Amino acid sequence: MDKVPLLLTPGPLTTSASVKAAMLRDWGSRDPGFIAMNAGVLERLCAIAGGQGAHVAVPVQGSGTFAVEAMIGTLLPRRNAKLLVLVNGAYGHRLVKIAQVLGRPVDFMEWTEDEPVSPSQLAERLSRDMSITHVAVVHCETTSGVLNPVEDIAKIVQAQRRLLFVDAMSSFGALPLEAGKVPFLALAASSNKCLEGVPGLGFVIADQTALAAAAGNAHSLALDLHGQWQGFAANGQWRFTPPTHVVAALAQALDEFDAEGGVAGRGQRYRDNLGVLLAGMRGLGFRTLLADDVQAPIIVTFRMPADPAFDFQAFYQAMARRGFLIYPGKLTVADSFRMGCIGRLDLSHMKAAILAVQETMKEMGVASGAP
């Protein structure tokens, strides 16, 4: 087997050996041991968002997008509701697309991919458009790595008596987002990003009263969060085959998350990783898309180097040979590539990655990463 690569990507990402080992046991989906483990995982997910009591965590089989679609489909009423999506990248556009596919009234405001969405522009829009009942925002827009001011957004949405959906996929577990400080109707995230579990499960943390009122609203049987929640309430079981190994891996990942000091500890390791990545790449001439004050410690977008000897495919392959998988750009405005700093990676891995970039540039005959 080739050397197992480290994933410098935004998910799936590098997991610990112990998280992978947690999948070596088979669990019966109706076994009391699995039911207890599953209930523990859901409670802990809810606690990370400071949602105990008022909120409930409901998982869905599948990737993060399944959870986002379940969230919108279940909690955005079919009638007398309109969603406003704040867009500054591909995941914002995906929220709009989901609402359109579901046939729900939706509108959006758009900013460029290198700037956060603007709370004051949102406030202005909400005060003059009373047809909007719900707002959706992406916490860290993984397209560029930009951090959106979710706390300010939430306060405006609450003050103007609307309800907020948050796509917290790439930030959940690494950046604080607590129900007490950031009032939200529901947020969606997944097992395979900053919680450092394996892919296969998305989840929504939803206001319990709103979820209870959403019976019959969903467009889908499998993606009905109310139905899924009722299933757990009835007997602790998933309605349809659960991703048992993914749940077991997530239980282990949450133990490791707690051992690291929760959101504060994990966020600090990622910020340290980001520091090494930024300093190292800038030292080689590369330039970032974003200004540092709006850069989340999740993934960094680098502008494509101008040197004609630089070829992204060759760069990607040479990095892969050295044991690092990087990520192509997803920007619509500029040619770029991305490197993540999340997952089970520490300073030594980030330094090794910078060294690999340096060696690769030498091999390609690229003098500088300057755009």
Ligand X SMILES: *Cc1c(COP(=O)(O)O)cnc(C)c1O
Q: Which is nearer to ligand X, 201 or 214 (CB)?
A: 201
Q: Is 65 in the site for ligand X (CB under 6 A)?
A: yes
Q: What is the rounded radius of gyration, in angstroms, for the C-alpha atoms of the chain?
A: 21
Q: Which is nearer to ligand X, 139 or 344 (CB)?
A: 139
User: Using CB under 6 A, which of the segments 35-43, 63-71, 115-123, 345-353 binds ligand X?
Assistant: 63-71
Site string for ligand X, 126-145 (x = CB under 6 A): ------------x---x---
Residue count of the chain: 371
Q: Which is nearer to ligand X, 113 or 310 (CB)?
A: 113
Between CA 288 and CA 370 the distance in angstroms is 10
**290 — alpha (psi -120 to 50), left (phi > 0) or beta?**
beta
Give the three-class secondary structure for 203.
Answer: strand
Residue nearest to ligand X (CB): 64
Q: Please, which of residues 81-120 interact with ligand X by CB under 6 A?
A: 91
8 A C-beta contact, residue 57 and residue 43: yes
Q: Is 10 in the site for ligand X (CB under 6 A)?
A: yes
Q: Which is nearer to ligand X, 65 or 301 (CB)?
A: 65
Give the three-class secondary structure for 255.
Answer: helix
Between CA 371 and CA 362 the distance in angstroms is 17
Please pick, from the candidates 50, 51, 59, 64, the single residue that binds ligand X as defined by CB under 6 A: 64
Question: Three-state SS across 309-356?
Answer: CCCHHHHHHHHHHCCEECEECCCCCCCEEEEECCCCCCHHHHHHHHHH
Q: How far is the CB of 90 from ligand X (least distance, A)?
A: 8
Q: Which is nearer to ligand X, 147 or 357 (CB)?
A: 147
8 A C-beta contact, residue 30 and residue 167: no
Please pick, from the candidates 14, 144, 190, 228, the single residue that binds ligand X as defined by CB under 6 A: 190
Determine the size of the site formed for ligand X (CB under 6 A).
Answer: 13
Q: Is 63 in the site for ligand X (CB under 6 A)?
A: yes
Please pick, from the candidates 170, 191, 288, 301, the single residue that binds ligand X as defined by CB under 6 A: 170
User: Using CB under 6 A, which of the segments 64-72, 124-132, 248-256, 353-361 binds ligand X?
Assistant: 64-72
User: Using CB under 6 A, which of the segments 62-70, 110-118, 178-186, 243-251 binds ligand X?
Assistant: 62-70
Q: Is 165 in the site for ligand X (CB under 6 A)?
A: no
Q: Which is nearer to ligand X, 70 or 366 (CB)?
A: 70
Q: How far is the CB of 228 from ligand X (least distance, A)?
A: 17
Give the three-class secondary structure for 220.
Answer: coil
DSSP sequence for 38-91: HHHHHHHHHHHTT-TTTEEEEEEES-HHHHHHHHHHHHS-SSS--EEEEESSHH
Q: Is 169 in the site for ligand X (CB under 6 A)?
A: yes
8 A C-beta contact, residue 16 and residue 198: no
Q: Which residues bind ligand X (CB under 6 A)?
A: 10-11, 63-65, 68, 91, 138, 142, 167, 169-170, 190
